[in-house]
């Protein structure tokens, strides 16, 4: 589907953020490995978290969904059944990487498959530590889905210094660690999102300049009432859209404000964005708040590479913000973007260049020569079937000189099914 996106003039209104994708996945998986019934309120209806639910059903877990409320009857760590057909993870890297940690440690013979994008993303990063732990797992060319998972003769503990700052990798190893008699230890030197540790209450301690996190069979996984906050990564599109469009004011309700996720908030604040935080509270173990954002004159920024894992999913839309800052912004240390649903560095370079922005693409980042007067030229933007590319292009187009188009626009349903409705609701022109 091609979506037409008009210049906004300004944006105004109040919207409820879609439920957080990362937390939805985790709540469902953790509920499945507990031994009782858990209720998850505000579960995401987006395609990725729905892939997690369908994989759990295939593994014999009872999942009842009524609107955004999901009831899961946990089967315990040893209660999964061998699925009759391959577990289909769709487009979802989190489903494949986290669930592979669980099913390979549980020794469930199965195959895990995904769509073309997921099948081209490396799984070597999880295959290696899982093999070290004694799990039986391999992939096409020892690297890609389909993954083949088999029986094992017990999970051995490892001490694993994370070679990449990836929450999916960290979570995969910690979840496999839950099946070992002795603690598995993950050493994290650069903070990535901490939902797994937080929701499972895993032990962690300071270790050098980072953290050592532990998991083992003795960790109790209680049935919980989960309340999923609004997705900060979805909110980021509006933080930028409202900042770059004159006379705009947006209120976003119930946004997840976990400090390991809100790097983009602080980056935009440093760039001069105008934010107000209100109604700070907790949704279960996760902090949430309402945010109000008004237009701002943005300054350029030289991003600290250590912040990259904290804003990895928001970088594409931050690049859009940088196009309207008054001078040169630099992103480096962001090579991980090349391993997402598409190569997001190249895809964003293509989108920004098509709009007439002045940028230089680097191996691990981008230099963006911003201009507050920049007026993107109307273009047909390629999303490469990547939800975050489609939404970043749409935000860019709100400042355009005419009607733009976004290709494969339906891919926003991967994380934010109401994105286009919200955009059209908020545009004031
Ligand atoms: C996620 C972690 C990030 C992020 C992805 C969701 C998660 O991936 O990009 O959208 O839920 O753990 P990496 O951990 O591979 O960086």
What are the structural domain ranges in the chain? Answer: 3-19+229-428, 21-215
pLDDT of residue 428: 87
193 lines ligand 1 (CB under 6 A): yes
Query: What mean pLDDT is predicted for residues 395-424?
Result: 98
Q: What is the pLDDT of residues 122-156, one digit of tens each?
A: 999 999 999 999 999 999 999 999 999 999 999 99
Q: Average model confidence (pLDDT) for the chain?
A: 97
Is 0.85 topped by the overall pTM? yes
- State yes or no: pLDDT of 429 exceeds 80: no
**Given this chain, do its domains 3-19+229-428 and 21-215 carry the same CATH topology?**
yes
Q: What is the pLDDT of residues 371-401, one digit of tens each?
A: 999 999 999 999 999 999 999 999 999 999 9
Q: 3-19+229-428 belongs to which CATH class?
A: alpha beta
Q: Which residue has the higher pLDDT, 428 or 20?
A: 20
22 lines ligand 1 (CB under 6 A): yes
pLDDT of residue 224: 82
Pocket test for ligand 1, best of 99, 121, 168 (most atoms within 8 A of CB): 168
Q: What is the pLDDT of residues 27-84, one digit of tens each?
A: 999 999 999 999 999 999 999 999 999 999 999 999 999 999 999 999 999 999 999 9
Pocket test for ligand 1, best of 30, 312, 314 (most atoms within 8 A of CB): 312
Q: 21-215 belongs to which CATH class?
A: alpha beta
pLDDT of residue 363: 98
192 lines ligand 1 (CB under 6 A): yes
Q: 72, 71, 16, 25: which is closest to 44 by C-alpha?
A: 25
């Amino acid at each position: 589907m091609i979506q037409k996106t008009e210049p906004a003039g300004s944006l105004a209104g109040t919207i409820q953020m879609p439920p957080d994708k990362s937390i939805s996945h985790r709540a469902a998986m953790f509920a499945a490995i507990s031994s009782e019934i858990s209720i998850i309120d505000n579960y995401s209806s987006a395609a990725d978290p729905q892939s997690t639910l369908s994989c759990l059903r295939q593994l014999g877990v009872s999942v009842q969904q009524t609107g955004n409320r999901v009831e899961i009857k946990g089967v315990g760590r040893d209660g999964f059944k061998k699925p009759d057909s391959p577990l289909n993870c769709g487009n979802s890297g989190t489903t494949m990487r986290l669930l592979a940690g669980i099913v390979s440690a549980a020794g469930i013979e199965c195959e895990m498959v995904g769509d073309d994008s997921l099948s081209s993303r490396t799984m070597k990063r999880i295959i290696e530590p899982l093999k070290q732990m004694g799990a039986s797992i391999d992939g096409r060319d020892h690297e890609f889905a389909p993954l083949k998972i088999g029986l094992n003769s017990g999970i051995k503990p490892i001490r694993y210094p994370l070679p990449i700052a990836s929450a999916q990798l960290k979570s995969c190893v910690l979840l496999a660690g839950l099946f070992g008699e002795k603690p598995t230890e993950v050493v994290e030197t650069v903070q990535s999102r901490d939902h797994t540790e937080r929701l499972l209450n895993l032990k962690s301690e300071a270790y050098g300049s980072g953290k050592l996190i532990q998991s083992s069979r003795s960790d109790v996984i209680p049935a919980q009432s989960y309340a999923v906050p609004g997705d900060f990564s979805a909110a980021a599109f509006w933080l930028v859209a409202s900042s770059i469009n004159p006379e705009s004011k947006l209120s976003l309700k119930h946004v997840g404000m976990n400090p390991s996720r809100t790097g983009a908030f602080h980056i935009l604040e440093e760039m001069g964005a105008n934010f107000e935080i209100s109604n700070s509270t907790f949704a279960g173990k996760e902090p949430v708040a309402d945010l109000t954002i008004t237009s701002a004159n943005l300054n350029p920024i030289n991003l600290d590479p250590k912040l990259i894992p904290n804003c990895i999913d928001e970088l594409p839309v931050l690049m859009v913000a940088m196009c309207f800052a008054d001078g040169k912004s630099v992103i480096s240390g962001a090579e991980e973007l090349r391993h997402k649903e598409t190569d997001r560095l190249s895809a964003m370079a293509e989108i920004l260049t098509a709009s007439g922005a002045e940028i230089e693409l680097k191996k691990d980042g981008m230099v963006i020569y911003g201009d507050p007067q920049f007026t993107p030229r109307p273009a047909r933007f390629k999303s490469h079937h990547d939800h975050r590319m489609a939404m970043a292009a749409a935000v860019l187009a709100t400042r355009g000189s005419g009607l733009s188009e976004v290709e494969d626009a339906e891919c926003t349903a991967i994380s934010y099914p109401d994105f286009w409705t919200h955009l059209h609701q908020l545009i004031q022109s």
